Structure 1
Amino acid sequence: MFSANDRISIRQLKVLLMLNLFGTTSLILPRMAAETAGRDGWISVALGTVFAIVYAVIILHLAYKFPHKTLFEYTETLAGRIITFIIAFIFITRLVLAASFGLRLFSELIKEALLENTPIEVIIMSMLLVVLYIARKGYECRARVAEIIVWIVFIPIILVLLFAIPQVNFSRVLPVFVSSPQDIFMGAYVISLTYSAIDLLLIAIPYTDKPRKTRRPVISAIVLIGIFNVFLCIITFGLFGDIGTQRQIWPVMNIMQVVKLPGALLERQDALMISFWILSIFAVINAYVFFISVITQKVFKLKEQNFLVLPLLPIIFLIALIPDNVVQIYEYTKNIMSYMGLFLLVFLPLALIFLARIKKVGES
Structure 2
Amino acid sequence: MAVTDPETDLAQHDGGGVTPPPSTPRRRPRGLGWAGRFEIAVLVGPALLMFLGFVIFPVAMAAYYGFFRWQGYGTPTDFVGLQNYLTILTDPTFIEALGHNGFIVIASIVLQGPVAVLLALLLNRRMRGQSLIRVLIFVPYVIAEVVVGTGFSLTLQTQGALNGLLESWGLGAFAHDWIADPSIAIWTLMAILTWKYVGFAVILFLAGLQGIPEELYEAAALDGAGYWQTHWRITLPLLAPTLRIWAFLSIIGALQLFDLVYIIWGQYVASTAGTSTMATYMVVNGRNAGNFGFGNAVAVVIFAISLIVALIYQRFVLRRDAAGAITEGKKTR
Q: What TM-score results when the alignment is normalised by the length of structure 2?
A: 0.26
Q: Greater Rg, structure 1 or structure 2?
A: 2
Structure with more contact order per residue of length (Cα contacts < 8 Å, sep ≥ 6): 1
